Amino acid sequence: MNKPNYKLAEGLVPANYVRQAVESRNTRENLVKTVLSQRRLPVGGWDDATIKLFLQDLSLMDSNNFNEYSGAGEREGRIESSLVRDMHNGMGHGIGRSGDISAHQPKAAGSSLMSKLTQYFMLEILKLSGATRTKSCYVFPLATGMAVVMCLLALKAKNPTATHVVWPRIDQKTCLKAIVATGFIPVVIENITEDNDKGPHTTDELRTDLPAIEDAIKRAGGPEKVLCVLSTTSCFAPRAFDKVSEIAVMCERLGIAHVVNNAYGVTSSLIMHHVNEAMRLGRVDAYVQSTDKNFLVPVGGSVIAGPDKHLKVADVCKTYPGRASGTPTLDVFITLLSMGSNGYKHRLLQRKEIYEILKQKMSEVAAKHGERLLHTPHNPISLAITITPRRRASSQTEVGDRDAQEPESTSGTWDTVGNGMEALDTRQVEPDSHTDIDTASSSTRHELEKHKALHASHSGGVQEVPIDTITSFSMLVAVSDETENASSHTPTKSHRERKEKLATNEGSSISKTSAQHSAARSAPRPINPHPDSDATDVTRLGAMLFRRGVSGARVVSADDVKVVAGVSFKGYGAHADAYFTPYLTVAAALGMTRKDVEQVVERIDKTLTEYFDS
């Protein structure tokens, strides 16, 4: 009611009662006034009654909710079901117009106002999270993969001669499919391990191969042929976030666009700091994030943001064909009003604390089962523990006999020295050269061929994939392995001893190199911790966890071969051709609680016991 109506109400009920109601209503109205005047997210979250009041006012501003209104168009916001109407708060017109998703709708002033306020709120949240150099953003009614497609299409309009997208490998289908869907040729850059300031073999994480990216850009034809580098921040361990700052500097120097897939990176202050540094130091055309992972809303939306230098977010908005659903925007609008800026800050701090708790408890569970937590300091969201594959059935004794024999010797690929194994010395094999194999002895040549078939990388850092054709710069590498003396142990004892060796982090690096960049790589690691283990068996652990009600945890065998969008990957799921161990990975995502951690870790503990004892 307005002021005159309240005055009339005083003739029906005592005036002091009415004045109390007016004061309460004014308090809510003042909150709305502050938001409209300041165009900022409220510091404290609103209660549901205030949000509903505001939504009702916005809904009544849309023409489909006008009294005495006659619509004669093909789209008049008519809604048959009252349940659907209530779910959308009576807002049936969506957002945007046919030529620009960010344009205001003549028939939907309320929906347009809601969308505009959401963009202001989102820009504030991105800056609050650490990306202070962000100049504009827009909430799209598309999930992350399709938002990446929109960015690529907007860049394509500016560089119509481009044919390639350089993409540091991440074993998640969305990005690759986004590249292929827009008609570009993906150039896959293999990840590498590297030493840190504490010495060699001190991390287990996979990082960006910067020289390979620059080499790939030059090989593909430079700025005329390369549309952009599509980097990734948030991902599952042991992959770390890409070196986005260094990539940004490189892209600025080479005149190449740079799009960052920041799917759930908003929840990490470390990741957002690196995204911000990338915008400060070099070139970032846009960075994309999911609404559901970062803001606890249903799946369906994403945020495209950027510094508005080379590519403006407005250009991406104009690329979108037609108007769009306003539901993902409305979800974010309601949620941010409910949390307020302080509420979102609290969620971010809570997630960081939960990560440390999860890390500690997963480390304890791993040690209990003779495994260890992988050291991945540049992944602040996800973590992983090693999983030693059980013995192959052929290496077990009869049922009921718990003793199993270790093999006395392994294939001739290895020369046994004392209790350990020494890898054969191998050399680079150029794509058109067979000198090393041709000049090797017959037995050595046989083993090299055998080893190449099993474990050779498909790329010396780069894999260019013209949709259905895979072209690779092959590299023959020997991957070292270790075994114990031939002796009889129970499976549990053998398992523990192998993991004690693994815990020392001996021989810990993926060997996936090109000659000119070999100094940046570490020495080879074993693909599997034991020669007679069966890496494929660990995937059964994932099914066991799911049956126990654990979702989101991933068990990676590190030796799967998979074709995605015409691209063949070895070790799919592990983000590398030959990661040194199978593993189980989990994530401390926004909204996870201490109770969730305790329940998940308890179930993982029980499942590991069942798995190793079976």
State yes or no: pLDDT of 600 exceeds 80: yes
State the average pLDDT over residues 417-443: 33
> Fold for domain 135-316?
Aspartate Aminotransferase; domain 2 (3.40.640)
175, 192 contact by CB (below 8 A): no
Q: Is 341 annotated as a binding residue?
A: no
Q: What is the CA radius of gyration of the chain?
A: 29
425, amino acid identity = D
Looking at the DSSP bridge assignments, the partners of residue 569 are: 562
- pLDDT winner (highest mean) among 380-394, 432-446, 543-557: 543-557
State the average pLDDT over residues 381-393: 81
User: In angstroms, rounded to a whole number, what is the distance separating the alpha carbons of residues 609 and 222?
Assistant: 53
**Mean predicted lDDT score pLDDT of the chain:** 79
Which of these, 235, 281, 292, lies nearest to 258 by C-alpha position?
A: 281
Q: What region, left, alpha or beta, does residue 222 occupy, with left being phi > 0 and alpha being psi -120 to 50 degrees?
A: left
pLDDT score of 205: 94
State yes or no: pLDDT of 72 exceeds 80: no
User: In angstroms, rounded to a whole number, what is the distance separating the alpha carbons of residues 28 and 294?
Assistant: 28
Q: Between 446 and 118, where is the model more confident? A: 118
Residues in the chain: 614
Phi, psi of 517 (to 5 degrees): -120, 15
pLDDT score of 432: 36
Task: Give tens-digit pLDDT for 171-187.
Answer: 999 999 999 999 999 99
Which of these, 4, 307, 314, lies nearest to 140 by C-alpha position?
A: 314
pLDDT score of 198: 57
Both tokens of 602, joined, read 């308890």
Residue for token pair 């809303």: 297
CA quadruple 69, 71, 75, 78: dihedral sign: positive
Assign 411 to helix, strand or coil: coil
Q: How many CB atoms lie within 10 A of CB 543?
A: 11
Q: Is 97 annotated as a binding residue?
A: yes
pLDDT score of 503: 43
Q: Is 39 annotated as a binding residue?
A: no
Mean pLDDT check: name the lowest of 106-120, 241-255, 363-377, 400-414: 400-414
Q: Is 280 annotated as a binding residue?
A: yes
State yes or no: pLDDT of 416 exceeds 60: no
Phi, psi of 610 (to 5 degrees): -65, -40
pLDDT band of residue 69 (cuts 50, 70, 90) is: confident
Domain boundaries, the chain: 135-316
pLDDT band of residue 389 (cuts 50, 70, 90) is: confident
State yes or no: pLDDT of 143 exceeds 60: yes
Q: Is 56 annotated as a binding residue?
A: no
Q: How far apart are the first and last CA of the chain?
A: 70
pLDDT band of residue 200 (cuts 50, 70, 90) is: low
State the average pLDDT over residues 564-573: 88
Q: Is 516 annotated as a binding residue?
A: no
Residue for token pair 């989990």: 586
Task: Give tens-digit pLDDT for 128-138.
Answer: 999 999 999 99
Angle 129-134-137 from CA coordinates, rounded to 5°: 95
User: In angstroms, rounded to a whole number, what is the distance separating the alpha carbons of residues 1 and 22?
Assistant: 9
Which of these, 117, 140, 115, 56, lies nearest to 90 by C-alpha position?
A: 56
Task: Give tens-digit pLDDT for 276-329.
Answer: 999 999 999 999 999 999 999 999 999 999 999 999 999 999 999 988 999 999
Assign 385 to helix, strand or coil: strand
Instruction: Please report how the helices 48-59 and 109-128 are oriented relative to each other, as an axis angle in degrees rounded to 10.
Output: 140
Task: Give tens-digit pLDDT for 470-515.
Answer: 333 222 222 233 333 333 333 344 444 444 444 444 333 323 333 3
Using the CB atoms, write b or e for 295-326: b if 16+ within 10 Å. Answer: bbbeebbbbbbbbbebbbbebbbbbbeebbeb
- pLDDT winner (highest mean) among 93-97, 244-248, 556-560, 603-607: 244-248
